[in-house]
Structure 1
Amino acid sequence: MPDLSHEEAHEIARRGTSKVAWVLVKLLMMPVLRLLFMMRVTGRENVPDHGPAVIAPNHKSFWDAFFVSAVTKRRIFFMGKSELFRGRRGRFLLLLGGFPVKRGESDGEAIATAKAILARGDVLALFPEGTRVSDPLSLGTPRRGAARIAIEAGAPIIPTAITGTEKRRWPLPRRVQIAFGEPVPVDDLSATPELAHALTAQTLWPTIDEDYRRLRARPGVIAAGVAAVGLGVLVHKLRHRQ
């Protein structure tokens, strides 16, 4: 199957793809993700039921957008690097709500598509880091692009933290946790680089960073509790053997 050109892919994304593929994946794949990864979600009510919104998560894995989609009622549209949108996989990602962006350069097509999605009242997921940061102990450096697009579209931006999707040494299920923060209104802001940077640096990213650290601390508590239970069982068995 021939690859779609960059322009053709964006034309399809702006026109809007059928919901059939998205609904099928939602019904078949998402329950498996929820069960296998023991998903825990907080702040789901912060995603508005209607109207445009920008969900801004940290980025650890290719699967981040799918996990966000799994726990929200609304269909989520998202950017992905252009290399992913080739052949059958690229067409499938388009059906699911993805659209390509050229990395390392200003991509007017991707920006126009993002604005078109918000203009028709849909939800867009944009990763402020711009690329995956696999280190589970830290986040990357945010860029102002997500905030600027939200301001230009007049769409509230929702700081979102996600943990458990980063690359792991052992291929075992790990709890995936997502925290949606309170929407940040942008109605009174001008779409200038300075204000987009200030919104990102002073409000958006500190909230994501705080929630990310909080979520990362929680699995440690759970693991400690499991270890304590295991130790208690071992002690109990040793006592009965004596």
Structure 2
Amino acid sequence: MADHQHPGATRSVERSDDRVAQLGTGARHATDAFDVPSALMEARFADIGDPVDAGTIEGPGIDVHDRSKRGDVSLVMGGREVPDREHVHGSDASMRLVAGGELNRWWRVGLPIVTPLVRLVFRTRVDGLEHLPSSGATIVAFNHISALDGPVLAIEIGRRIKRESRFLVAAEFFRKGFFGWILRRYDQIPIRRGEADGPALEAALTAVKEGVLLAVAPEGTVNPDPDTLMRIRSGVARIALPSGAPVVPVGIWGTHRRWPSAGPSWGRPWRPRLVIVFGEPLLAAGNVDDDGDVEAFRERLRAHLVRQVERARSISGEQP
């Protein structure tokens, strides 16, 4: 297979390197020893948050048509229709690949290595994958109950629909030697935690406008109480409103059985069930400079995230 470099990948890596350089000296050339598996578990996939109600939704460049008898969603993106896809869910054994984009060489090399690790640790089920566009600008907003959420979500999206994803990742992880190198090779975006980081949001907005799938944890950090969603931050609204990109709310349940906020846990069950539920796409409506529009969008996103988390927990067999 010929090598297809991800559009703008070189420029994206350079931009990420520049951002890291701004955030601290030695970010690019850190040489400290670092345990890569532990780093993957520790990575915090930072802030963002906001959407509109499901149903027949219209927005700039994107129409979500009436659902078919199967409940599928058809998207028209930039004048090009993305056809309805068969409802996809189930265990690894029943998993079907959904045609997506062409992965660049880093993803083609990395996925076969890390996918068996996920299957070794979890019994995975994905529901609602038909709601995730196979191409074009997309924002994925997920609840954050474990340091494993980001890696697992990226792996499942990559292996199931062959889409690359970019996350907002805490800037300090870009200074972790080999792990930082990995983050840059996969075009992840550094963001400073605990403060407003305008340049990071601008980089994320630019990526979305270029047609990237951007994944964000609107809570901004790992939630120590998986049963209750924390306050949703405004980052998703500040990207979705000006870009017009659909926001897909995602509920994750089960990663905290192996890596809760307190650290790794290896008790029974040996292979806990991991459930990932993709909700219907949401479109932002309003003005990003209007605090009322931003707040309304944030509340809608929270409601939809709560719904998907409840679905994921129910599918896992756990009771509230």
Query: Does the Cα contact within 8 Å between 1:42 and 1:178 map onto a contact in 2?
Result: yes
The one of 130, 133, 140 equivalent to 1:55 is 140
User: Matches of residues 90-109 of structure 1 in structure 2 within 5 Å?
Assistant: 90-109=180-199
After superposition, the CA RMSD in angstroms is 2.4
User: Matches of residues 25-174 of structure 1 in structure 2 within 5 Å?
Assistant: 25-72=110-157, 73=161, 74-86=163-175, 87-166=177-256, 167=260, 169-171=265-267, 172-174=270-272
Cα distance in 1 between the residues matched to 2:114 and 2:224: 24
Query: Does the Cα contact within 8 Å between 1:7 and 1:109 map onto a contact in 2?
Result: no
**Which structure: greater helix fraction?**
1
Cα distance in 2 between the residues matched to 1:164 and 1:123: 23
Match of 2:310 in 1: 213
Please state how far the C-alpha of 1:27 moved relative to its aligned partner.
2.1
Q: Secondary structure at the match of 2:123?
A: coil
Question: Once the two structures are superposed, what CA deviation does each residue of 1:19-70 show, in whole Å capped at 9, x if it has no partner?
Answer: 3222211122124314531111111111111210100001112221221122
The one of 147, 170, 176 equivalent to 2:274 is 176
Question: Once the two structures are superposed, what CA deviation does each residue of 1:124-177 show, in whole Å capped at 9, x if it has no partner?
Answer: 001111111032322211112112211111111111110111216434332111
Q: Which amino acid aligns with 1:200?
A: R
Please state how far the C-alpha of 1:220 moved relative to its aligned partner.
3.4
Match of 2:293 in 1: 195
Query: Does the Cα contact within 8 Å between 1:143 and 1:197 map onto a contact in 2?
Result: no
Question: Once the two structures are superposed, what CA deviation does each residue of 1:170-189 show, in whole Å capped at 9, x if it has no partner?
Answer: 34332111111000123x43
Change over 3 Å in CA distance of 1:37–1:83 after alignment to 2: same
Query: Does the Cα contact within 8 Å between 1:147 and 1:157 map onto a contact in 2?
Result: no
Query: Does the Cα contact within 8 Å between 2:249 and 2:308 map onto a contact in 1?
Result: no
The one of 298, 301, 304 equivalent to 1:204 is 301
Match of 1:15 in 2: none
Shift >4 Å, 4+ stretches: 7-10
Of residues 163-172 and 76-85 in structure 1, the stretch that sits farther from structure 2 once superposed is 163-172
Query: Does the Cα contact within 8 Å between 2:233 and 2:298 map onto a contact in 1?
Result: yes
Please state how far the C-alpha of 1:9 moved relative to its aligned partner.
8.0
Q: Secondary structure at the match of 1:71?
A: helix
Match of 1:231 in 2: none
Change over 3 Å in CA distance of 1:5–1:49 after alignment to 2: closer
Q: Which amino acid aligns with 1:176?
A: L
> TM-score with structure 2 length normalisation?
0.60
Query: Does the Cα contact within 8 Å between 1:53 and 1:150 map onto a contact in 2?
Result: no
Q: Secondary structure at the match of 1:41?
A: strand
What residue ranges of structure 2 are gaps of 5+ in the alignment?
1-16, 29-102
Aligned length: 211
Cα distance in 2 between the residues matched to 1:141 and 1:41: 25
Cα distance in 2 between the residues matched to 1:115 and 1:105: 18
What residue ranges of structure 1 are gaps of 5+ in the alignment?
13-17, 224-242
Q: Which amino acid aligns with 1:6?
A: R
Cα distance in 2 between the residues matched to 1:51 and 1:97: 17
| Higher gyration radius (CA) | 1
Q: Which amino acid aligns with 2:149?
A: D
Cα distance in 2 between the residues matched to 1:119 and 1:110: 14
Counting aligned pairs with the same residue, the percent is 32
Q: Secondary structure at the match of 1:48?
A: coil
